Amino acid sequence: MNRQLPEVPTKLLINGKWIEGSQEAVAVIDPATNEELVKVSQGSTKETKDAIDAAAKAFATWSRISPKERADHMNKIADLMAEESDRLALIMSLEQGKPVKEAAAEIQSNVENFRWNAAEAQRVYGEVIPAPEENHWLVRKEAIGVVGAITPWNFPSNMIARKIAPAIAVGCTLVMKPSKETPLSALALGDIFQRAGLPDGVVNILLGSSAEIGKELTENEIVKKITFTGSTEVGMKLYEQAAPTLKKVSMELGGHAPFIVFSDADISLAVDKLIAAKFRNNGQVCTSPNRIFVEASIKETFTTRLLEKMQEVTVGFGTDDPTVGPMINEAGVDKVVDQLADATKKGATILVGGHKMTEAPYAKGNFFEPTVIDGITPDMDMYYDETFGPVIPLIVFDDREAVVEAANDTVFGLASYFFSTNLQTISNTAQKLQYGMVGVNDIAISNPAAPFGGVKHSGFGRENGKYGPEEYVTVKFIAIDAQ
Ligand code: NAP
C-alpha cells in the first residue's frame, strides 16, 4: 500500500487559526523506519494561555446555544470523519504503526462517539425536587467550562474523540494536547472540525513541551476541568498540579489486565479472544491482557492450541495490514526486551518469538516478534509491571479462589477478563474482580454506550455511555420561593 503521508496541518490550532508556534519545530517519526514523516510546529506557555483565552471566549456562546444546535455540528463532524476514514487511517498508521484496518476501526469509533454524545447530551436532564407549596426546587446540569485535555499515542484519534465529543456536546470548550509521538491524527481532526464549521475556539490543539503545557493547563484558574489519559506516573503529577486550583479531574491511567481461563472454559474461544486482545495495537493498549492465568488441568491443551494459532499472527508495515505493525519507539522495544530477559533469567521459557526483528525490511524500525513466554511467577518484573508490547505471559494455577486474589494483586484496576461456562464461577468471579471492567467470555469491553474506566491506580472518572457527559457538567440547585 501507498506509504505517502496525506496532506495534514502541521501547526497549532488556536481560536480557529493555524498558528506557527514560538518554539523550534520537531519531527514526527515513522516507527516502521525511524525516519522523519514531517516536522510539526511547537508552542509553549504563551500559546497555552492564548488557547485557554480562546476557549473561554468561545465558551460564552457555545455553552448557550441549544443542545440540538451543538448536536448538528457534531453530526456534521461525524459525517466528514466517516467520509475521510481512509485518509485519516493512513495518517494514523504512518505515525503510530498500527495496521490500517485497526486505524480505520478507530476512526469508526470516533464517528460513533460523536453521534452517541450528540444524541446523549440532549438528554442530560436536570430534576424537579418535591418542595413546599409556592417553592420550586430545581436541579440544572451546566457545562463546567474550559477543559484541559491531554492524551497518549496508542489511540491517537479515539482517545481525543472520547474527550472532545462529550465535552463539546454539553457545551464545554477545550484545549487539547496530544502526544508528541502522534500529533498528526489530532491535527487532522482539527482540520475536520474547521471544515465542519465548528465555531472558533471551541476546540484548540496545542503541540509542544508536555511539562510546560501541562503546567499551564493544570494551574490556570480559567480551566475548570482536567481530563487525562496516559501513564499512572504522569497522571499522579497532573492530579497534584491541579489540586491548588481545585479543578474537577478525571484520569484514565495504566492497566495490567488479568485473563483467567478456568478448566470449564471453551478453550478455542479463549485462545482466539486472547490473540485478538493481546495483538490489537501490538499489545500497546491499557486494557491488553498482561497476565494469563490458565488452570493446571487444561494448561497443556490451551498452550498447544495457542501455539498453533500463533502461526497465523503476522508482523509487517501497518500499511500492509498485518496482525501487528512496529512498536511505537525504541524505548517501548527496550522495555519488552528487559522484561523478557528478567523473566528468562528467573526461569521462564520463551515458547515462540522473543526478539527484536533485525532483518530487512524491518531492520530500521521498531518491530518485535509476537511472543509467548511460559512459567511466569511473581518474582518476575512482568508479573507486576505493565508490559505494553506483544507478549503473552502464561501463569499456571490450580486454586480457583486463589487465582482471583492473584488477579487482584496489582495496583492497577482497569480491565480484566475470564473464561468459564460455569454460572457460579461467572457470577462469583465477576463480583470479586477489583476492576472497572470485566469481560466474561468476551474482550469487547469498550464501546460508546458503556462506561469505560478504572479503579485503584488505573484512575477515576468514566468515559463513554451516559457517564461520559457527566464528567463535564456541574450540578446547580436553584431554590425559588415564589410567595
Ligand atoms: P504518558 O507518557 O503518560 O503520556 C501521555 C500524555 O501525557 C502525552 O500527551 C504526554 O505528552 C503527556 N505528558 C507526559 N509528561 C507530562 C507532564 N509532565 N505534564 C503533562 N503532560 C505530560 O503515556 P503514554 O506513553 O503516551 O501512553 C501509555 C500509557 O497510557 C500506558 O500506561 C497506558 O496504559 C495508558 N493508557 C490508558 C488508557 C485508559 O483509558 N486508561 C488508554 C490509553 C493509554 P508527550 O508525549 O508529548 O510527552
Calculate what percentage of the chain has a pLDDT beyond 90: 99
| Cα-to-centroid distance, 154 and ligand 1 (Å) | 9
- CA-to-CA dists, residue 415 to 79, 229, 251, 256, 431, angstroms: 31, 15, 15, 8, 14
Count of beta carbons in the 10 Å neighbourhood of residue 309: 14
Q: Is the peptide bond before 156 cis (omega within 30 degrees of 0)?
A: no
276-303 mean pLDDT: 98
Residue 483 binned pLDDT confidence (cut-offs 50, 70, 90): confident
Among 229, 231, 385, say which to mutate for ligand 1: greatest number of ligand atoms within 8 Å of CB: 231
Per-residue burial over 95-105, b = 16 or more CB atoms within 10 Å of its CB, e = otherwise? bbbbbbebbbe
- Say what the pLDDT of residue 61 is: 98
pLDDT digits (tens, 9 = 90+) for 28-58: 999 999 999 999 999 999 999 999 999 999 9
Find out if CATH 3.40.309.10 is the number for domain 257-447. Answer: yes
Q: Which three cell numbers stand for residue 181?
A: 509521538
| Cα-to-centroid distance, 180 and ligand 1 (Å) | 10
293-320 mean pLDDT: 98
Which residue(s) pair with 144 in the sheet?
Answer: none
pLDDT digits (tens, 9 = 90+) for 373-388: 999 999 999 999 999 9
Residue 192 binned pLDDT confidence (cut-offs 50, 70, 90): very high
State if residue 255 touches ligand 1 by the CB under 6 angstroms criterion.
Answer: yes
The ranges of the chain annotated as CATH 3.40.309.10 are 257-447
Whether residue 30 contacts residue 95, with contact meaning beta carbons closer than 8 Å, is answered with: yes
- Say what the pLDDT of residue 230 is: 98
Which class in CATH covers the domain with range 12-253+458-479? Answer: alpha beta
67-90 mean pLDDT: 98
4-22 mean pLDDT: 98
Name the phi and psi angles at 201, rounded to 5: 85, -10
Per the annotation, the verdict on 286 as an active-site residue is: yes
How does the average pLDDT of the chain come out, rounded? Answer: 97
Per-residue burial over 348-385, b = 16 or more CB atoms within 10 Å of its CB, e = otherwise? bebbbbbebbeeeebeebbbbbbbbbbbbeeebebbeb
What is the distance between the alpha carbons of residues 37 and 16, in angstroms, rounded to a whole number?
Answer: 25
pLDDT digits (tens, 9 = 90+) for 161-177: 999 999 999 999 999 99
Burial class of residue 126 (count of CB atoms within 10 Å of its CB; 0-12, 13-18, 19+): middle
- Say what the pLDDT of residue 116 is: 97
Residue 1 scores a pLDDT above 90: no
- Say what the pLDDT of residue 388 is: 97
Calculate what percentage of the chain has a pLDDT beyond 70: 100
- CA-to-CA dists, residue 273 to 263, 279, 421, angstroms: 16, 10, 15
What is the distance between the alpha carbons of residues 364 and 361, in angstroms, rounded to a whole number?
Answer: 8
- Say what the pLDDT of residue 2 is: 81
pLDDT digits (tens, 9 = 90+) for 448-468: 999 999 999 999 999 999 999
CA angle 100, 94, 6 (to 5 degrees): 95
State if residue 210 touches ligand 1 by the CB under 6 angstroms criterion.
Answer: yes
The ranges of the chain annotated as CATH 3.40.605.10 are 12-253+458-479
Block residue for cell numbers 493512513: 90
State if residue 152 touches ligand 1 by the CB under 6 angstroms criterion.
Answer: yes
Which residue(s) pair with 252 in the sheet?
Answer: 229, 459
- Say what the pLDDT of residue 199 is: 98
